[in-house]
Amino acid sequence: VDARTGADFTRDALAQALSRDGARVHIATHGRTRRGLLGQSGLLLPRAGSGELAFVSWIGLADQPIRADLLVLNACDLADGPGSGATRQTAFANALAASGARDTVAALWPVSDGAAAVWVPAFYRALAETPDDPARALQQAQSALRASRMYRHPHYWSALIHLTSIAPAALSAAPARP
């Protein structure tokens, strides 16, 4: 396990983690989506060698092979794209899923830190029981939020979504369309 926190979790550290076969990458930081601006969905991560934050767009990561099995984006808005649902494929989470992350968990809108303190541990407890089924683990985490008095409102649990990528082998094995 390679755990990076604080100033050590730079854009390069993220790119390296995403490029590892079978990696599970959990990112807890600030996310930002500027609706209407292509490529302006991303993370705020420490800039190497300084105390400043740098914006890391999906454009800067999606051109490299992403081999991580699981990407958990515990950051606001990263499954939401710039504009309507027609352009949602340009959201940070969707772009990284399309670039090869087998399973991605992200939020469509900001979720409170308090709600994250409920769903994240519930997600990983469930994932420990069913390591090959992140969708089921997310469902159980959403159930934990619904069971909570403070976070049972759909605003908290319905923001969280699970995305999967289509394996390149599956694409090449698909029958050609007439």
Residue recorded with tokens 């990284």? 96
Q: How far apart are the first and last CA of the chain?
A: 47
Break the chain down into helix, strand, coil percent, rounded to 5. Answer: 40, 20, 40
What does 53-121 look like in DSSP terms, one character per residue? EEEEEGGGTTTS----SEEEEESTTTT--SSSGGGGGGSHHHHHHHTT-SEEEEESS---HHHHHHHHH
Nearest to 61 by CA among 99, 104, 31, 27: 99
Can you give the pLDDT of all 178 residues of the chain as single tens digits? 556 667 778 888 899 999 999 999 999 888 887 777 767 788 888 887 777 888 888 888 877 888 999 999 988 878 775 554 434 456 888 888 888 889 999 988 888 999 999 999 999 999 999 999 999 999 999 999 999 999 999 999 999 999 998 654 444 444 444 4
The reported pLDDT for the residue numbered 6 is: 72
